[in-house]
Amino acid sequence: MAHHFPERRSLGRRLKPYLMVFDPALSLILFMLLCVGTITLSSAGHDFPGRLEGQMRNFMAAFVFMWMAAVIPPQTLLRMAVPIYTFGVALLLAVAAVGTVKKGARRWLHVGTDIQPSEIMKIAMPLMLAWYFQTRAGMVKWKSFLIAAVLLLIPFGLIAKQPDLGTALLVGASGFWVIFLAGLSWKALAAMAVAGGASLPVAWSMMHDYQRERVMTLIDPTSDPLGKGFHIIQSTIAIGSGGMAGKGYMKGTQAYLEFIPERTTDFIFSVFSEEFGLIGNLVLLFLYLLLIGRSMMIAANAPNLFTRLLAGAITMMFFTYAFVNMGMVSGILPVVGVPLPFMSYGGTALITLGLCSGILMSIQRHRKLVQT
């Protein structure tokens, strides 16, 4: 009697489902952005020993987190949404109670090492709201948007109180885009805009002194050219001096004479603009448009409401990061400490962006699996 044994799969075939998780188009765009970022950082950080090597380690960490997110099915993310959000809010409350104070801000929690829980909310916020609207599918009313606003305002308020306006704005934006994409009416948006305008005097009174100074510096940086306005003035000089084709790689005088502040992090766009000029800026903008376009395609083809809202919010997060950073260093928005995606030095921001990219790849991959 013949015995039939189950077919043994090779190690390569067993590992294939875990290796073929990356979306080719999105991966190529991210690779090109990281290449541009690495070239710019090598120039901007010429006098920061170990900065480029540190960014390589950040890239590896971001890649690992991106792979992990790409492997996790969207259904698992749906189940994890509430626990992650609850855990994040609990950490923010712990920061408010016993957080570590650095430079006048209580943003960190010491658990063997200092961590910044507000970063978790950049992922947790869109996850939570996408889960909420998924559970309300077909039953969304104005009360649903009100509850969603409360879910958004809790972490936003806790982060703004630290104070960390930049992160609070990014978390607020990630949640707002979910609410908007869930069907918030234009009338409601207009009412919110009117209410926001009417509350500006109250918001101004609640702002910290340094935040008011940033707003005033935006309005007229020349009022204190050697003080509060110095950074913006030097940044705009660097951008303008690049001209059409730029001064060339590692030939930016503003960067090499150390006039540009935070030139490897928040103001790296100034270094890029000075060295590669308008042509380089157009190429960089085109890469970001490709990133947003591919992400938008994934969102449009997502199989259910949860994945559509989540992918759409991540797409708009990419846009918000790039728009706010470029506006900030160009002098058209206040300086709020937002990095340029996949360009600025920093591990935390890269890991967050890597997670977001991995979630998009997971949504795209599992859509194909459903279709087949």
pLDDT attached to residue 190: 76
Tell me what the mean pLDDT of segment 243-258 comes to. 82
Tell me what the mean pLDDT of segment 346-371 comes to. 85
pLDDT attached to residue 226: 59
312: pLDDT strictly greater than 80: yes
Average per-residue pLDDT for the chain: 84
Summarised one tens digit per residue, pLDDT across range 34-68 is 999 999 999 888 778 888 898 999 999 999 999 99
Q: Do 107 and 161 form a contact (C-beta atoms < 8 A)?
A: no
pLDDT tier at 189 (50, 70, 90 boundaries)?
confident
pLDDT attached to residue 311: 96
Of the candidates 123, 119, 174, which has an alpha carbon nearest to the alpha carbon of residue 152? 174
Q: Which residues contact 35 (CB under 8 A, 6 or more apart)?
A: none
Q: pTM score, two decimals? A: 0.86
Domain regions of the chain by residue span: 23-120+214-371
Tell me what the mean pLDDT of segment 17-21 comes to. 71
Q: Do 299 and 312 form a contact (C-beta atoms < 8 A)?
A: yes
pLDDT attached to residue 372: 46
Q: Cα 100 from chain centroid?
A: 24
Q: Do 318 and 170 form a contact (C-beta atoms < 8 A)?
A: no
Using CA atoms, how far apart are residues 291 and 297, in angstroms rounded to an integer? 10
361: pLDDT strictly greater than 50: yes
Summarised one tens digit per residue, pLDDT across range 59-118 is 999 999 999 999 999 999 999 999 999 999 999 999 988 888 877 778 888 777 777 888
Summarised one tens digit per residue, pLDDT across range 155-174 is 999 998 888 888 898 999 99
240: pLDDT strictly greater than 70: yes
Residue type, 233: I
pLDDT tier at 4 (50, 70, 90 boundaries)?
low
pLDDT attached to residue 260: 79
pLDDT tier at 315 (50, 70, 90 boundaries)?
very high
